[in-house]
Amino acid sequence: MIETSVSSFLSDSIVIFKKEARDGYVFEKVLANKTTGQLNGPEDICFLPNGDLVVASYYSDTVSVYNSNNSPQVDFRSNQLRGPVGVLCLEDNSFLVSSYKTNKIIHFRNPSEHIVFAAGGGIRGPSGMAIGGTNSLFIASYENNIIVAFNISTGASYDLASIVI
């Protein structure tokens, strides 16, 4: 069986699509605002290596973590986190969050430990993120239509202006 999980911004829910070998696709709404109370404009999701689901909810300025039984575990908040749009799960069970309204990338290790991981360098309205290539974090900068790359080791940034989103 193949599973794909998606967030639904307008219905405040997380849906898992399951591909059965011979019966086609079935779907199951696993999290909804009326059951969790935290989903309010969920934008992005990712799974931590330990199996926990991380959900960025734009309107509640919250990133929530759910265990494999879809039970809420912890909510992450910060005065630096406004309008979380993207989440990127890391191998050490921490995660990065793009804060759309503050133009920052926040690194959360636990609810009380977080740092601004990336800011400036042309980031305006950060959304999706990916790690790749030469130790770089690539950030889609929605409001100025560029991709910004940060060297994870040095913190140096450069924009990839020739790539149009």
Q: What number is the average pLDDT over the span 50-56?
A: 91
d(CA 18, CA 27): 6
Question: For residue 61, what pLDDT is reported?
Answer: 92
Q: What number is the average pLDDT over the span 59-73?
A: 85
Residue 165 lies inside a defined structural domain of this protein: no
Domain count, the chain: 1
pLDDT at 116 over 90: no
Residue 15 lies inside a defined structural domain of this protein: yes
- Match 């992005």 to its residue by tokens: 44
- Closest listed residue to residue 153, CA positions, set 131, 129, 128: 131
Question: For residue 164, what pLDDT is reported?
Answer: 47
Q: What are the pLDDT digits (tens) for 1-39?
A: 556 777 778 778 777 776 665 666 665 666 666 554 568
Residue 138 lies inside a defined structural domain of this protein: yes
- CATH number at 138 reads 2.120.10.30
- Is the model more confident about 57 or about 114? 57
Residue 164 lies inside a defined structural domain of this protein: no
Domain that holds residue 119: 2-159
Question: For residue 162, what pLDDT is reported?
Answer: 46
